[in-house]
Each structure stands twice: as C-alpha cells, then as structure tokens.
Chains A and B, each alone.
Chain A
Amino acid sequence: MKVNVLFGIVSFFIPFFNSLDAACQVNNQANVPIKISFINTINSIPVVLDSGNYTNCWNETFNINALKYYISNVQLQTAEKKIAAEKNSYHLINEEDLASKSFSFMASPGTYKTLSFLIGVDSLKNVSGAQTDALDPLNGMFWTWNSGYVMFKLEGHSAGSAVVKNKIEYHIGGFSGANSVLRRVELNIESSAVLLDKNSITEIIVHTDLSKIWNAVHELKISETPICTTPGILAAGIADNYSKAFEILKVIHP
C-alpha cells in the first residue's frame, strides 16, 4: 500500500519537476536578440529597383530590376573567439521585400568583435534535397537543370550590354571545387563593439556597395560580360568581386 501511495505522489509531481528544469535552462542561457540589417547601394546611393540609374567605375550606366542574394551561417565572434552562431541560418535578402532585408536571432551576451556570414547557401544544403522557407525553390533561386542554388542574382539593363534588350543578367551559382561561388565575409565591428544585454536590441547595419561587382578583385565590364548564368570562372570572379561589397555601416544601441 505504502509503495502505491508513494508512486501516486511521485507521479503527481513529475510534470512539475520537468517544467522547473526547463525554466532553469532558459534562465541560464538568458540569450538576447541581435538584429542584422542590409542596405544595398551603388556608390552609396541606395538601390531603387526599376527606376534608379547608376554608373559603374567604367562609366557604364545601368538600372537594376531584381536583386536577391543568400546570406547564411551567420555568426558573431568575441576577441576571445567565443562564437554566437545563428541556428538554421539561411536568409534570402530580396531588395523587393523590405522585411527580408533584416533578421534577428538570439545570442548570449558578450562583446563581439566580428560579424561573419556566407554569401550563398553552404554546399551541404545544395545536395540535401527539397528544402523550405528561405531555401524553398518557390523563391526562384534554385536551378532545376543543374541542381543547386543561385546564390546571388542581379538583373537589369545597360546601354553597354550588346545582348537582346540590353540585358544584364547575373545568376551566380556553383558550390563545388574551383567553380564554387561561396564566399565567407568577415567584418570587423570596430568602433563600437556590440554589447548585448537583456534590455536592448542591438542592430548591426551592413552596407553593400554593389558597384564592386565590376571592379574589386577583378576588372569586369558590362560591355564584355553582361550575362553570367552558369557556374564557372566568370561566376567565381563576380563572386570574388561582390564579396568585397560588404561593410558595416554602423551599430545601433537603443
């Protein structure tokens, strides 16, 4: 009989023990949100789709009709190499969609010195079958003829382009070997190291200067290479260039 009573009492309390345990874990971590935002520009002029007219360093004028790229595997690092990595970190930055241009995640409080991310989708996710959310093929960023994600897409027009309708079409993809366009960007958070605490949401604003596409590591002209839609040397070169387009504009502490 006594055993039964004891069993009854213990079973009664088991759910409470469980919830108590869970509450402790959350308290121990006490993660706080950090927000990362992207502002796309050409020579510091914010990109406006369809209407803006821009000029690259070769004096070639152009407009932009579509601009999308993947940012993945985002992480912050302290001077002591402590890493706060975003879980399931895949974001499609789409110039057309304001909400897509910033995202937040939870990180443990600390003084972070660097922000790093991959431009593109890591190779593993390119070979792992059907995905969802940012990686949904519905987003028009997945090649059906040569499996893999388009990591960076820029479409526009330029008088300098001799192809039909003066098109510029950069669909930059390829995730393996020499043809990989995956580039990891590491940005120093210089003047104001990010301090995360419970009462503030820190925001890091990343600025891109997309004029770098035509002149950074390699010199590329719209007139010579207006189209790039397959993995290869040109795509890798364009990726080298746009990987230099990212810098931290500022860090906002509320």
Chain B
Amino acid sequence: MLKIKIIISLLLIVVMASAFIYNEPPHKLTYLKLFIPRGWPKPTTDIFATNPLTEEGFVLGRKLFYDGRLSKDGNFPCSGCHQQFAAFSTYGHDFSHGFNNNLTKRNAPGLFNLAWQKEMHWDGGVNHLEVQPLAPLTNLNEMAETLPNVLQKLKKDTAYVSLFKAAFKDGVINSQHMLKALAQFTGSIQSYNSRYDKVKRGEDNFTISEKLGYKIFLDKCNTCHKEPLFTDNSFRNNGLIVNSKLPDSGRMSITGNLTDLYKFKVPSLRNCSITIPYMHDGRMFSLSKVIDHYRKGIDTTQATLDTLLKKRLIISEQERIDLLSFLYTLRDEDLLKDTRFAPPNYIQPAAKQEH
C-alpha cells in the first residue's frame, strides 16, 4: 500500500512538473505536398523549401489573390488579369487593364506549373515566385498600391488576422507572410490533366489528325516548347517585327547584354487554345496566325534571331491543321474548373436538370 502511495505521489509530481514545461498548444498546420506528375522533371528550384506548403497558407493566399483591396482603388485583384477560365491569363486582351484606365505594356501570361519556372516575367526580371507580386502590386499602371497601404488594410480586417494566425506560427501580418502565402496559392496551380496528358498515361487516344499534329509538334516545336512543360524556360528571339510604337528590348533590359536584344521567355503551350492572344505584346489573336508567323512572318534580318528560326519553319496547310488539332489537346479542363483555385466560398453552379 505504501509503495502504491509513493508511486501515486511521484506520478503527481511528474504531472505537476510537466505543467511547467507545457506552455501552449502547438501551432497546427496541415502540410501539403506539390504533386509531381510521373515522367516530369523535378522542379527547377524548390519554392516550398523555405515556405512550407500548407492548407492554411494556401487558403490565405487564395483570399489575397482574389482580393481587390490589394490594389489602390479596390478594382484590381490579381485575379482581374489572371482569370481561371483563361488558365489564369487575361482572356482576349493583348494588354490588361490597370488602375486609372491604364493598360499594361505586356500580355498577361497564364499561371500554372510555376514551381517549374525559374524566372517570372517575359524578360525573366523576377527571380523568385515570392517576390513576383511586388511588381503588379506597385506598378502605377496595374494595381498602383504601396506595400504599407496593403498591409494596413489587411491588419484592419479580422478575417485576415485569423487567417494569418492560422497560416504562420507568429501570426504576424507583414509583407513576407503575405508574399509567401500568395506563392503557396499560385505555386499550387498545376496543369497536368489535358487530353494530351491522358493520352500519355494511356487513358485516352488521339484522333488521327491529333496524332499527325503531335508528330509535327515533336519535329518542329519541341526544342523550345519542350514537353511535358511545353517550354524549356529559355529566352529567345522568335523574329517578331519590332513594334515601333511600343519598343521592347526584352531580356536585354534585365541583363544589359546586346546578345539578349528582343529575346523573350518561351511560353508554355499548355492551355494555349484559351490563353488568346499570343506573344509578349499579344499581337496575334489566333493560333493560326502564330503558326503563320513561324511559316512566313519571321523577320530574318534580326541579329539575335534564334538560330533554329533562321530559315523559318516549313509547315504545309494540312500540317498546320493537324498541328492545331494537337495544340487543342493541351487544354486542361480540370485546371479551368477546379473549385480549389476558384474565389473563396465559390459555389459551383448546379448541373442543369432535365424535367
């Protein structure tokens, strides 16, 4: 009996002592992992190595992405120019609309598979996904806001106070946390479920025309628009005639090297049928025109023109049609309709019912 008493009292001491060690419940985070489709290369840089991907961070990032208050007058959320139904590009606009009736100077690219992109912007000027939003946020022709103003607006909103608390251990609302949360959302937007992907996985089949188109693609386009990402992330001059009204030296404006004059990032062809229009200045309003450019439009006099394009591409009329059929297979309906990437609290319209 005495022994039992000793044990009980000792146990009590242990319990009491542990009360001093125990401070507060640990901050719970739901960790997520970026899905790497089979056969894909590893992401060029691990963007989530210093920014662990969590459900809480993603949810905060999504709210920020769709929040107009990140812009000066409330009218220009990130999603204004990066629309989900257009694979997060601006549908049908060469230039996007910004604050005070301004236009952007380049075409808004689609946002997907960003974990595989080393540099952002057409000229590659932005070297990390986390610092990307600083450009549109502060540009006077885009969101035209300042960082201190944005943070002030967020701090006043109790919804954000609790979302930041959930997503980050210290719960502080600062630029670093805001940018990291945005990167968790945008870095999670992935596209790997197009018909092309399904064919590759043996879940679907190409039509004859698509199959022929794929062969032409492999032959003529795959060096720069390398599958499975459909870009090699390089910067190249594809021989566009220089727009004298909107001169843009491209990559050279970042590196200062003359050899980079008129070079722009090779965009991914994934979802290209929905990211209309095309090129850095959105000058081409159909994929047919794009193919025509490579067949007959390339300005072969430019010194920095890509060596692969010096002789233009030889693509017959029939081949052009087959190539187009293949390009349409790169459209990923799952990406365009995934409610996870839709505005917070988005309710999917009910399917039509026949009576």
* Residues in B whose Cβ lies below 8 Å from that of A179: 256
Q: Which residue of A lies closest to B45 (CB)?
A: A127
The answer to whether A129 touches B13, judged by C-beta atoms less than 8 angstroms apart, is no
Q: Tell me if B241 counts as interface (CB < 8 A to partner A).
A: no
CA distance A131 to B134 in the complex (A): 12
Q: Tell me if A17 counts as interface (CB < 8 A to partner B).
A: no
The answer to whether B183 touches A12, judged by C-beta atoms less than 8 angstroms apart, is no
Q: Tell me if A254 counts as interface (CB < 8 A to partner B).
A: no
Distance (whole angstroms) from the CB of A41 to the closest CB of chain B? 31
Distance (whole angstroms) from the CB of B128 to the closest CB of chain A? 4
The answer to whether A147 touches B126, judged by C-beta atoms less than 8 angstroms apart, is yes
Query: In chain A between 61 and 114, which residues have their CB closer than 8 angstroms to a CB of chain B?
Result: none
- Interface window among A1-9, A21-29, A181-189, A205-213: A1-9
User: Quick one: CB contact mask for B141-179 with A, threshold 8 Å, 1 for yes?
Assistant: 000000110010000000000000000000000111001
* Residues in B whose Cβ lies below 8 Å from that of A1: 3, 7
Q: Tell me if B32 counts as interface (CB < 8 A to partner A).
A: no
* Residues in A whose Cβ lies below 8 Å from that of B253: 146
Distance (whole angstroms) from the CB of B263 to the closest CB of chain A? 15
The answer to whether A129 touches B17, judged by C-beta atoms less than 8 angstroms apart, is no
The answer to whether B256 touches A148, judged by C-beta atoms less than 8 angstroms apart, is no
Contact of B183 among A8, A128, A129, A132 (CB under 8 A): A129
**Chain B CB within 10 Å, residue with most, of A12, A142, A145, A232:** A145
* Residues in B whose Cβ lies below 8 Å from that of A219: none
Distance (whole angstroms) from the CB of A144 to the closest CB of chain B? 4
CA distance A8 to B139 in the complex (A): 64
**Chain A CB within 10 Å, residue with most, of B17, B21, B139:** B17
* Residues in A whose Cβ lies below 8 Å from that of B11: 8
* Residues in A whose Cβ lies below 8 Å from that of B121: 145
CA distance A107 to B79 in the complex (A): 49
The answer to whether A15 touches B21, judged by C-beta atoms less than 8 angstroms apart, is yes
Query: In chain B between 287 and 332, which residues have their CB closer than 8 angstroms to a CB of chain A?
Result: none
Distance (whole angstroms) from the CB of A87 to the closest CB of chain B? 17
Q: Tell me if B199 counts as interface (CB < 8 A to partner A).
A: no
Q: Which residue of A lies closest to B131 (CB)?
A: A147
Q: Tell me if B246 counts as interface (CB < 8 A to partner A).
A: no
* Residues in B whose Cβ lies below 8 Å from that of A8: 7, 10-11, 13-14
* Residues in B whose Cβ lies below 8 Å from that of A138: 147-148, 151, 174-175
Q: Which residue of A lies closest to B254 (CB)?
A: A146
CA distance A131 to B128 in the complex (A): 12
Known: A1-B3, A136-B174, A144-B134. A128 touches B10 (CB 8 A): no
The answer to whether A130 touches B130, judged by C-beta atoms less than 8 angstroms apart, is yes
* Residues in A whose Cβ lies below 8 Å from that of B126: 144-147
The answer to whether A126 touches B3, judged by C-beta atoms less than 8 angstroms apart, is no
CA distance A136 to B176 in the complex (A): 7
Q: Tell me if B207 counts as interface (CB < 8 A to partner A).
A: no
CA distance A228 to B161 in the complex (A): 41
Q: Which residue of B lies closest to A11 (CB)?
A: B14
The answer to whether B179 touches A130, judged by C-beta atoms less than 8 angstroms apart, is yes
Q: Tell me if A237 counts as interface (CB < 8 A to partner B).
A: no
User: Quick one: CB contact mask for A140-164 with B, threshold 8 Å, 1 for yes?
Assistant: 0010111110000000000000000
* Residues in B whose Cβ lies below 8 Å from that of A147: 125-128, 131
Known: A144-B135, A146-B125, A230-B256. A130 touches B7 (CB 8 A): no
Contact of A132 among B3, B50, B139, B175 (CB under 8 A): B175
The answer to whether B127 touches A9, judged by C-beta atoms less than 8 angstroms apart, is no
CA distance A4 to B3 in the complex (A): 10
Q: Tell me if B20 counts as interface (CB < 8 A to partner A).
A: yes
CA distance A164 to B183 in the complex (A): 39
CA distance A12 to B176 in the complex (A): 42
Contact of B176 among A131, A146, A230, A232 (CB under 8 A): A131
A-B contact pairs, 29 of them (CB 8 A): A1-B7, A4-B7, A5-B6, A8-B10, A9-B10, A11-B14, A11-B17, A12-B10, A15-B17, A15-B20, A15-B21, A127-B128, A129-B47, A129-B51, A129-B179, A136-B176, A137-B131, A137-B175, A138-B174, A138-B175, A144-B135, A144-B139, A145-B125, A145-B135, A146-B125, A146-B126, A147-B126, A147-B128, A232-B256
Q: A8-B7, A130-B175 are in contact. List 5 more A-B contacts (CB 8 A).
A: A4-B7, A8-B14, A12-B13, A129-B179, A231-B256
- Which residues in B have some Cβ–Cβ distance to A below 8 Å? 3, 6-7, 10-11, 13-14, 17, 20-21, 47, 50-51, 121, 125-131, 134-135, 137-139, 147-148, 151, 174-176, 179-180, 183, 253-254, 256
